[in-house]
Amino acid sequence: MLASKLYAPTLREVPSDADVVSQQLMLRAGFMRKVANGLYSFLPLGWRSIKKIETIIREEMDASMAQEIMMPILQPAEIWKESGRWNAYGAEMMRINDRHDVEYCLGPTHEEMITTLVKNEINSYRQLPVNLYQIQSKFRDERRPRYGLMRSREFIMKDGYSFDVDEAGADASYQSMYDAYSRIFSRCGLTFRPVEADSGAIGGSNTHEFMAIAEAGEADIVHCTSCEYAANIEIGKPGVMKQDEEALAPLEVVETPHASTIEAVADMLKLPLNKTIKAVVFSIEGKVILAMVRGDHEVNEVAVQHAVNGAVEPEMATPEQLEAVGLTAGFISPVGLKQTEEFSIVVDESVMEAYNVCGGANKTDAHYININPKRDFNIDDIVVAPIRLITDEDVCPLCAAPLERSKGIEVGQVFKLGTKYSESLQATFLDQNGRPNPMVMGCYGIGVSRTLAAAIEQYHDENGIIWPRAIAPFEVVIVPINAKDEALMQASTSIYNTLLSDNVDVLLDDRKDRAGVKFKDADLIGYPLRITVSKNTLESDDVEIRVRKTGETINCPISEVLITVQDLLAQL
């Protein structure tokens, strides 16, 4: 490809509404353009990288005996109503009606459609297992589309689904996809970690998220510094933090005017945060849930949902909901409270192990001091559960070594679905004894466009992108210092043709711009190797090859360019 023909308009200014580095760099370097909130067009450079990621995915999926198909994006509401998700999916689903007023959605995922497809064709154990995937645009009307390609409303996903005769088969399919995902993200050049994740109602360690480690990530993860343990903090099991035993002092009410946060109270009463307890009030389907953790801990909403067997994610309770169950916002503790049909109390395990702590007195501008939960809470009215978020002060739940915490971008997820969809959509097969059984399913997603953004989040510097070789739009750029000089252009074109003839993915920057401009663009776009052809080349027969990642430069004779480029690329 010639740079003079390439449609890659670069920008000098960072677009003001671009909130993460990957988005800024992709806009500046001419990889994509914004159409509307959460909607982007890929330009040739961006699309080349996307296609390279897709090729890696296809190769690894096909090598794992998964087969590519393509289903419609437009999905009839009917199948979603059958599975019960038409309502459950909520506002994130983009819904439309056709001219006959029949309801459809733009697929946010395809469990319903694939299960319907498979159930009509597969009826015997002899036809199983089957693993099918597609690479396609998905639509989700995200509450807050942001971070460019990382959370957009239309995005490219690889979604795959496996169907097996039993749990053991489903486990094998899951493992094979887990392994394929590890190879895919390694080949894309990402620094990533598979972590245990929340599997919602299904429970157990039935799902892993593949997290690209990056500060811009929206997920928090912990991993053990010694063993293999790694988890999304939503599911990380914190141990019980004990406190040194103390004599139980009498419960007392103290005035705490206007101190309605635990930090303000601790400050006013000169207490360390671990000698306080704090309340967070949620609602799940109208039921009010008081969650209590120590003042120095944070509530894990997913754990709260599990503790009360909630069908949906907790939301923050409204002031009206608090009032309806008699709670005084800012001054709440379980002391003296009773559970009812509309009100539950969940207390973190570490709260129960605390002594003489401070918490709300359930009236305005007052707190208790010397709460001793085992003495002062009505034990029949509370649920005790591990509902705090794991921190890096906790130890590994498997081997007790220290934990480290980091931010992750979820680039993929593998999930054991069990028979949830095959039962609701009646996808059954006849087993060896001629008896009908529901197929055991798994589903597997990769955010293709999010993976591209994650790579840039991981690999960039102040000058631009530093592509991992495998997903760079071009592997090599040749920059003749002066494109108006015919001899220089001839030498450059000859190198270009030599590289092309060996299938090196190369771009010739034949633009008549100044060398400085071309160098800047090369750094911004992030080609792994840059070959400079200058006057010196003509005199000494040497070209300069610069490695974007290290800044290292190598001089080599023109006759050795191909072998040197191959060597350098192989090391990247």
413 binds ligand ATP (CB under 6 A): yes
142 binds ligand ATP (CB under 6 A): yes
412 binds ligand ATP (CB under 6 A): yes
Minimum distance from residue 90 beta carbon to ligand ATP (Å): 12
Minimum distance from residue 445 beta carbon to ligand ATP (Å): 3
For the segment 389-448, give every residue that binds Mg ion (CB under 5 A): 413
Nearer Cβ to Mg ion (276/413): 413
Rg, C-alpha atoms of the chain: 29
d(CA 331, CA 366): 7
152 binds ligand ATP (CB under 6 A): yes
Beta strands in 392-522 (DSSP E): 403-418, 428-430, 436-438, 440-447, 460-461, 464-465, 476-480, 506-508
207 binds Mg ion (CB under 5 A): no
24 binds, among Mg ion, ligand ATP, none (CB under 5 to 8 A by kind): none
Closest residue to ligand ATP, judged by C-beta, is: 447
447 binds, among Mg ion, ligand ATP, none (CB under 5 to 8 A by kind): ligand ATP
Nearer Cβ to ligand ATP (218/541): 218
Minimum distance from residue 142 beta carbon to ligand ATP (Å): 5
SS3 405: strand
Cβ atoms of 542 and 560 within 8 Å: the answer is: no
Nearer Cβ to ligand ATP (89/493): 89
Nearer Cβ to ligand ATP (98/313): 313
Closest to 302 (Cα-Cα) out of 220, 413, 214: 220
Residue in the block written with tokens 């995200």: 142
For the segment 443-462, give every residue that binds ligand ATP (CB under 6 A): 445, 447, 449-450
Token pair, residue 33, equals 């353009």
347 binds, among ligand ATP, Mg ion, none (CB under 5 to 8 A by kind): none
Give Cβ neighbours of residue 384 (< 8 Å, ≥ 6 apart). 346, 347, 348, 349, 352
411 binds ligand ATP (CB under 6 A): yes
Nearer Cβ to ligand ATP (233/495): 233
199 binds Mg ion (CB under 5 A): no
142 binds, among ligand ATP, Mg ion, none (CB under 5 to 8 A by kind): ligand ATP
Cβ atoms of 489 and 510 within 8 Å: the answer is: yes
For the segment 52-111, give every residue that binds ligand ATP (CB under 6 A): 109
Cβ atoms of 37 and 145 within 8 Å: the answer is: yes
**What are φ and ψ of residue 423, in 5° steps?**
-75, -50
Residue 258: CB atoms within 10 A of its CB come to 10
Residue count at the site for ligand ATP (CB under 6 A)? 16
Minimum distance from residue 208 beta carbon to ligand ATP (Å): 11
Minimum distance from residue 39 beta carbon to ligand ATP (Å): 11
Minimum distance from residue 406 beta carbon to Mg ion (Å): 18
163 binds ligand ATP (CB under 6 A): no
d(CA 184, CA 50): 13
568 to 189, 470, 546, 550, 554: CA distances (angstroms): 16, 13, 10, 11, 10
265 binds, among ligand ATP, Mg ion, none (CB under 5 to 8 A by kind): none
Closest to 303 (Cα-Cα) out of 351, 238, 382: 238
Token pair, residue 108, equals 């946010």
Minimum distance from residue 207 beta carbon to Mg ion (Å): 8
Cα 149 to chain centroid, rounded: 12
Minimum distance from residue 443 beta carbon to ligand ATP (Å): 9
Nearer Cβ to Mg ion (51/146): 146
Token pair, residue 87, equals 């309502």
Residue 203: CB atoms within 10 A of its CB come to 10
Closest residue to Mg ion, judged by C-beta, is: 413
Contact residue for ligand ATP among 410, 457, 475, 509 (CB under 6 A): 410
Minimum distance from residue 447 beta carbon to Mg ion (Å): 9
Give Cβ neighbours of residue 514 (< 8 Å, ≥ 6 apart). none
Nearer Cβ to Mg ion (125/415): 415
Q: Residue 281 is which amino acid?
A: V
Phi-psi region of 406 (alpha: psi -120 to 50; beta: other; left: phi over 0): beta
Cβ atoms of 192 and 212 within 8 Å: the answer is: yes
157 binds ligand ATP (CB under 6 A): yes
Bridge-partner residues for 489, per DSSP? Answer: none
Residue 571: CB atoms within 10 A of its CB come to 9
Minimum distance from residue 410 beta carbon to Mg ion (Å): 5
For the segment 102-141, give every residue that binds ligand ATP (CB under 6 A): 109, 140
Interface ranges with ligand ATP (CB under 6 A): 109, 140, 142, 150-152, 155, 157, 410-413, 445, 447, 449-450
Interface ranges with Mg ion (CB under 5 A): 413
